[in-house]
Structure 1
């Protein structure tokens, strides 16, 4: 087996690669932004490599990736399945695997506190690959912080030359991050990118699409041909701001992006359907009543009567986003709007209800990705 150092030219979809004691840790926010991150939740989310993949050209029939994952567990909640590594060969999904070993980050949802139990480096191995020169992608798990330690193959590897494909940068919440998708290559943004033939940079951050200025600056400064922003659900379920602050915050976020990307096609996507928050504001609380049966869900804890005082619901946010884009588009013809219910709406909820009342399941991720590819890459991003 040949050992190849993992370097930046073998990694796609990350904004930064941090050198650690074990190897490389992909980040989805640059170091300057990470220095301003205000809480552990976003720090964890941006280090989970949704959309990040190891990409190489090789004739190898065996590819082994040594990794040190950090797997997240929740106190009192049944253990989650290990994160999935997807193997794609010449654009064709070929195999899946999980990594042994790794650290365990245990989070107490009732207090927000967390504790890490150290673990050992593990390995993800794919064998019986086609005996020819080919392009190989290993999509990392969207839900496990993953330090890249070593790449071993039975033939030499080289970086894949630039394809000339357009780069699509997408920012959103845990739904964009991948919550409840089957794997990294089957989150709805990954599905849409594959169908559209574009290179994905996924800045979906679980619980943390909160119009943070450092995120806007990261988007502004990252090379991309197309940008989309899915805004709303986290603002509601964190009960972060009122209507008076929301509109100016959206304007400021868009203004910052436009400082560096004045003409890049830019799409604002409002929230997909979430019945519990359509007319009920946040905050959102975990519902532990089903833990004995291995189920966990979420509850809307706000009071609909407070909407009159400026509390935000998804219905309010959709109307405000549509207004902002409509008014700005008069002077910005490359700014567009998509109602998120076109990706997942009332008709879908009957057949594909949100299992935990907040996040779509794997089938819905695929449906949303297919619809986004059709509506957006077949439309405003064509």
Structure 2
């Protein structure tokens, strides 16, 4: 087996690689942005490598990746399944694996307290790959912090060429992050990117799509051919602002992106259907009564009031803002999120916890996004 040093030219989808005592930790926000937030939820989410993959060209038939995962557990809840590693050969999902061991971050959902228990490095091993030179991608678990420790193969490796594929930079909530998707290459953004023939940089952060200025600056400074922002659900989840603040915050977020990407196709996507928050404001609170069985559902805990944000109000305001700005910005586009998941989908594939789509809904959303956005009449045609 040949050991190859893991360098930035072998990793795609991360904005930064932090050198740790064990190896490389992919980040989806740069250090300057991370320093401007004290939110532990965002810190965990941006370090979970949704959309991050190790990419190489090789004739190897065996690939080993040493990793140090940090798995998230919740006090009083049955252990969650280990994160999945997807191996793609020439773009096709060929094998899957999980990593034993690793650190465990235990979170008490009732109090918010957390503690980390250290664990050992694990090896993810793939064998029986097809003969001949091929492009190999290992998609890291979208829901499990993963430090890259070592790469071994039974033939030499080179960085896979980037070719002429466009880079799609996307920002959104836990739904974009991949919550409840079956695996990292089957989140709806990953599926849409595959169908659209583009390279994905996924800045979907569970609980972290809050119109933060540091996220807008990170997007402004990240090279991209296509940009999308999915806005709304986390603002309602956290009950973080009112309509008076929402409009200017959206304008400011878009203004910042346009400072660095003035003509890049930019798509604003409003929330998918979420029945509990269509007309009821946040915050969203978990019902902890089913924790022992591993079941968590959410409810809308807000009371209606002047200027309070609901998904209906957010969609109306986003449509108004995009129409206003598009008069001077022909590369700015709008998509109603209910095109991706609407009333008929909620009847067919209801949200299991009342907030997040399941694996089948992720597939449907990815296909619909590719059709409506990457299709011949779409914003990213």
Q: Please identify, of 369-378 and 74-83, the stretch whose mean Cα deviation from structure 2 is larger.
A: 74-83
Which residue of the partner structure matches residue 351 of structure 1? 348
* C-alpha deviation, 1:268, in angstroms: 0.3
Aligned equivalents of 1:34, 1:112: Cα separation in 2: 20
* C-alpha deviation, 1:163, in angstroms: 1.3
1:88-127 equivalences under 5 Å are 88-127=88-127
Aligned equivalents of 2:104, 2:159: Cα separation in 1: 32
Q: Could you report, residue by residue, the CA deviation over 1:54-89 in whole angstroms, capped at 9, with x for unpaired residues?
A: 000111110000000000111122211000000000
* C-alpha deviation, 1:232, in angstroms: 0.1
Q: Note if contact 2:53-2:138 (Cα within 8 Å) is conserved in structure 1.
A: yes
SS in 1 for 2:111: coil
Which residue of the partner structure matches residue 361 of structure 1? 358
1:1-382 equivalences under 5 Å are 1-304=1-304, 306=305, 309-378=306-375, 379-382=378-381
TM-score calculated relative to the size of structure 2: 0.99
Aligned equivalents of 1:99, 1:235: Cα separation in 2: 34
Aligned equivalents of 1:198, 1:246: Cα separation in 2: 31
Aligned equivalents of 1:374, 1:161: Cα separation in 2: 27
TM-score calculated relative to the size of structure 1: 0.98
SS in 1 for 2:229: strand
Q: Could you report, residue by residue, the CA deviation over 1:217-242 in whole angstroms, capped at 9, with x for unpaired residues?
A: 00000000000000000000000001
Q: Note if contact 2:76-2:292 (Cα within 8 Å) is conserved in structure 1.
A: no
- Structure 1: where are the runs of 5+ without partners? none
What number of residue pairs does the alignment pair up? 379
* C-alpha deviation, 1:37, in angstroms: 1.6
* C-alpha deviation, 1:132, in angstroms: 0.8
Q: Please identify, of 218-227 and 70-79, the stretch whose mean Cα deviation from structure 2 is larger.
A: 70-79
Aligned equivalents of 2:156, 2:54: Cα separation in 1: 15
Q: Could you report, residue by residue, the CA deviation over 1:253-302 in whole angstroms, capped at 9, with x for unpaired residues?
A: 00000001110000000000000000000001111122243311111101
SS in 2 for 1:380: coil
Aligned equivalents of 1:162, 1:206: Cα separation in 2: 28
SS in 2 for 1:348: helix
Runs of 4 or more off by more than 6 Å in structure 1? none
* C-alpha deviation, 1:161, in angstroms: 1.6
RMSD of Structure 2 on Structure 1 (CA): 0.7
Aligned equivalents of 1:139, 1:302: Cα separation in 2: 38
- Structure 2: where are the runs of 5+ without partners? none
SS in 2 for 1:369: helix
SS in 2 for 1:372: helix
* C-alpha deviation, 1:110, in angstroms: 1.5
Aligned equivalents of 2:41, 2:11: Cα separation in 1: 24
* C-alpha deviation, 1:380, in angstroms: 1.2
SS in 2 for 1:179: coil
* C-alpha deviation, 1:374, in angstroms: 0.2
SS in 2 for 1:315: helix
Aligned equivalents of 1:277, 1:75: Cα separation in 2: 27
Q: Note if contact 2:71-2:102 (Cα within 8 Å) is conserved in structure 1.
A: yes
Aligned equivalents of 1:79, 1:303: Cα separation in 2: 34
Q: Note if contact 2:173-2:209 (Cα within 8 Å) is conserved in structure 1.
A: yes
SS in 1 for 2:289: coil
SS in 1 for 2:86: strand
Aligned equivalents of 2:292, 2:100: Cα separation in 1: 27
Q: Note if contact 2:272-2:342 (Cα within 8 Å) is conserved in structure 1.
A: yes
Q: Could you report, residue by residue, the CA deviation over 1:151-179 in whole angstroms, capped at 9, with x for unpaired residues?
A: 01111111112211000000000000000
